[in-house]
Amino acid sequence: MRLLVLLLTAVGLLGWLGARPAAPARLLDQLAAISCTNVVSAAPETLVPVGNILSPSEWPRPQQRFTPDPLPTPAPFSLAWRMGVSVPDGNPFFFDWKAPRPGWYLNWSTNDYAQEDSLADLGMEFTPMVRLRAEGLHPDVYTIYRLAQEKPGRTWLIGNEPDVRWQGDAPPDEYACLYHQAYQTIKLADPSAQVANGGISQITPLRLRYLDAVWASYRAQFGTQMPVDIWNMHLFILREEEGNWGVGVPPGFDGATDGVPWDVEDHDKLALVEEQVRRMRGWMAAHGQRDKMLYITEYGILIPAEFGFTPSRVVQFMVGSFDLLTELRDPETGYPADDNRLAQRWVWFSTRDRLYPVGDLFAADGTPLPPMRAMTGYIRAHSD
């Protein structure tokens, strides 16, 4: 009898062991072993017409560290919470942030520089980004898992402009596969994390064909709808044509001739800003995604100043875009939890950039330029 009980106990234990979820290490190994197609376009960057671009030697990294007055992280759906900035230099403490300041930032990486300074005092939420490289995800799934566990509750962006050949450079099948790897890794580490797709450079019919192909490929590869917690777009107005300046045509769409031939003078037209946001929200509603937030994680002025984009013109576009994005609503496609607004959060490009400096918020010494002063003034004037 005792032997029978022991046998039954052993069988039950083996059954329990077989039914329990796989250990994280095993699941991580399985995710790391997924083989995604790897297409490298090796295309040159031709985003804007030729202008005066500084060499790296003419663009030294900032040296001074600023200690901003402490501010709390803004409340969700407040104006400061909506407004963000991108930081090409990486560390936000290179800059002299005045109060009030935007409520979030990204730097195209997973490094928030919290080891050097206090993010809590900065009052700006960090949004990490997983990059797409020739070898796959960067960082790898093991590092992503560790970071997501260490900093729970964050929103993660998967890739940067996968539709642009000199950025994420991922045909639809490749992007769907890499997104799956990243999404599953993050959720395994931190179920409370929010995951967003990589921002599509601009929302045109051609770019939505790319997004449709990603959406369809995800289901074909993994047998289920692509899980996206927050939808993400970029909001540039650039030419969309092979062999010309602008964003070209997406990888996997060689020979496409239905791109939008926007020109230099279109670059700051607010009507085209509105058109793109409405187009993206329409796509979301048509795909059953209306109840998700929409982030705009990159937009601004990229075309060089010698084409007429003076500081005053940049500020005029910035302030006009803030007015527009704050008020854009639609009862059929807007986000119900935000009074049917179309866009929930947006990120200005950028604090300071070598290639595209015309929209810079700060000078090389970290002091605010007119666009940054305009942003600070706007938040002060329009916050409740």
Q: In what order do the strands lie in the sheet with 155-160?
A: 125-126, 104-106, 83-86, 345-348, 293-299, 230-234, 194-199, 155-160, 129-133, 136-138
**Residue 41: what pLDDT?**
83
Q: How far apart are CA 272 and CA 187, in angstroms?
A: 36
Phi first, then psi: give them for residue 95, nearest 5 degrees. -125, 150
Write the pLDDT tens digit of every residue in 133-189.
999 999 999 999 999 999 999 999 999 999 999 999 999 999 999 999 999 999 999
pTM given for the model: 0.92
Cα torsion through 157, 49, 235, 365, rounded to 10: 70
3-state class (DSSP) for residue 216: helix
Residues 32, 37, 40, CA angle at the centre, nearest 5°? 115
The list of the chain residues with pLDDT below 70 reads 1-23, 51-59, 115-117
74: which 2 tokens?
């803004």
> Strand pairing partners for 232?
295
pLDDT for 7 equals 40
At residue 245, the pLDDT reads 95
- Domains of the chain (ranges; CATH) run 22-382 (3.20.20.80)
Return the pLDDT at 65: 86
pLDDT at 18: 40
- Amino acid 56: pLDDT: 57
Rg (alpha carbons) of the chain, rounded to whole number:
22
| Residue whose pair of structure tokens reads 């854009």 in the numeric block | 328
Whether residue 336 is preceded by a cis peptide bond, meaning omega within 30 degrees of 0, is no
341 neighbors 333 (Cβ within 8 angstroms): no
CA–CA dist 382, 384 (Å, integer): 7
Q: What's the pLDDT score for residue 26?
A: 94
Phi, psi of 368 (to 5 degrees): -70, 140
- Closest-CA residue to 163 (of 38, 297, 267, 253): 253
Among candidates 136, 55, 69, 76, which has minimal Cα distance to 97?
69
